[in-house]
A and B are shown apart, each in its own frame.
Chain A
Amino acid sequence: KQEVTQIPAALSVPEGENLVLNCSFTDSAIYNLQWFRQDPGKGLTSLLLIQSSQREQTSGRLNASLDKSSGRSTLYIAASQPGDSATYLCAVGGSGNQFYFGTGTSLTVIP
């Protein structure tokens, strides 16, 4: 069964710093990988979707990469802002129409 791990579990950075969130998965036979943002008590907001044939996707200050062979993805956030504070989740899309989630990284950006 696919297992997804996110490191670190929590991260605190001063405003303006660039940062990297990590996601690893055990089974490289994936269809895609998706990064989400979750604010406290809210649902998940999709940030970026990377198909298995792609190596990266960019949206504004966010850049996500995928190395399927090594089972890793990173989410790079440039010039962090206090509004970026949230929990970030990665999810791997596998066979059987299923998504497997990591436990998330809680990010705090300090003004």
Chain B
Amino acid sequence: SQTIHQWPATLVQPVGSPLSLECTVEGTSNPNLYWYRQAAGRGLQLLFYSVGIGQISSEVPQNLSASRPQDRQFILSSKKLLLSDSGFYLCAWSGTGVMNTEAFFGQGTRLTVV
């Protein structure tokens, strides 16, 4: 069966510090991978998605970046965090193909920038 791992679960970082959140998927090949952010009282905002190694699409211009160094690994990074980067970050995967398949989410990372 497929599983998705996301870490860390919680993170407190000072303004201006770097960020690296990691997500890995097991039990499937060539998944579509996604990073979402959920701010308090707001819906899920798609940040990045990837349909393959090295292929990253950005939805919202910001100081965050994403990379996919391996087929089932998706990393969210920042060189210098802003207060506005605080939120709940969720990684997700879905199957490939023309028609979207079911999406599965990790348990999320609560990021607080202080």
Instruction: List chain A positions with a Cβ less than 8 A from chain B.
Output: 4, 31-32, 34, 36, 41-46, 49, 51-52, 89, 91, 93-94, 96-104
**How many residues of B sit at the interface, in one of the four size bands?**
20 to 34
Q: Beyond the given A46-B105, A89-B44, could you list 18 further A-B residue pairs with CB under 8 A, ordered by the A residue number?
A: A32-B99, A32-B100, A32-B102, A41-B88, A42-B107, A42-B108, A46-B102, A46-B104, A49-B101, A49-B102, A51-B99, A91-B103, A97-B96, A97-B100, A99-B46, A101-B36, A101-B44, A104-B43
Instruction: List chain B positions with a Cβ less than 8 A from chain A.
Output: 6, 32, 34, 36, 42-44, 46, 49, 51, 57, 88, 90, 92, 94, 96, 99-108, 110
Contacts of B100 in A (CB 8 A): 31-32, 93-94, 97-99
The 3 closest A-B pairs by CB, nearest first: A93-B100, A103-B43, A44-B105
- Interface of B: prevailing SS: strand
Task: For B32, give its contact among A45, A97, A101 (CB under 8 Å).
Answer: A97
Q: How far, in angstroms, from A51 to B98 measured CA to CA in the complex?
A: 13
Please count the residue pairs between chain A and chain B whose beta carbons lie under 8 angstroms apart in the complex.
65
Closest chain B residue to A4, Cβ basis: B43
Q: How far, in angstroms, from A34 to B94 measured CA to CA in the complex?
A: 12
- Interface of A: prevailing SS: strand
Contacts of B36 in A (CB 8 A): 101
- Closest Cβ–Cβ distance, residue A111 to chain B (whole Å): 26
- Closest Cβ–Cβ distance, residue A41 to chain B (whole Å): 7
Task: For A97, give its contact among B49, B90, B105, B108 (CB under 8 Å).
Answer: B49
Task: For A101, give its contact among B43, B49, B94, B96 (CB under 8 Å).
Answer: B43
Contacts of B57 in A (CB 8 A): 96
Q: Do A103 and B90 contact each other (CB < 8 Å), given the known contacts A46-B103, A94-B100?
A: no
Please indicate which of the listed interface residues B44, B88, B106 has the most CB atoms of chain A within 10 Å of its own CB. Answer: B44
